[in-house]
Structure 1
Amino acid sequence: MEELLEILQDIKPGVDFENETALIDNGVLDSLDIIKLVGQISDEFDVEVEVTDLVPANFNSAKAMYAMIQRLEDED
């Protein structure tokens, strides 16, 4: 989780990613941020984020993103 929080802070400094639960819904992260994020998640965690994974529910919070990463790791 710590690695993910570091990635998020690099993309959007100053956001409270540990507590924010509506990153997409509130416009904190935009589509360009998601593209950067997917690339960094893929590199850091060695997972393949598929198009079907690109839904707001998977990116609205750091916890949701980490749950998606764990699921993708388990699928490998």
Structure 2
Amino acid sequence: METLLKILAELRPDVDFEENKELVDSGELDSFDIVSLVGELCEAYEIQIGAEDIIPENFNSVEAIMALVKRLQED
């Protein structure tokens, strides 16, 4: 989780990722942010995030992003 929070803080230092539970719905993360985030996550966690996983539900909160990472690490 610490790695994820660091990646997010570097991506958008103006956002409180631990408190905000609607990152995509509220517009805190836009499509460009998500593309950048996907690349960082793939590199940091050595996973592959497919197009089918790039949906708002997977990026709306830190918990949702971490759940996606863990699921992909298990595959």
TM-score category of the 2 structures, normalised to the smaller one: over 0.9
Aligned-residue offset at 1:29: 0.4
1:31 is matched with 31
Aligned residues: 75
2:5 is matched with 5
Counterparts in 2 of 1:1-76, with a 5 A limit?
1-75=1-75
Q: After TM superposition, which residue ranges in structure 1, 4 or more long, deviate above 6 angstroms?
A: none
Consecutive unaligned residues of structure 2, counting only runs of 5 or more, are: none
Aligned-residue offset at 1:51: 0.3
Amino acid at match of 1:6: K
Amino acid at match of 2:53: D
Consecutive unaligned residues of structure 1, counting only runs of 5 or more, are: none
TM-score when normalising by structure 1:
0.96
Per-residue deviation, residues 31-70 of structure 1 (Å, max 9, x unmatched): 1100100000000000000000001000000110000000
Compute the RMSD of aligned alpha carbons: 0.5
Amino acid at match of 2:35: I
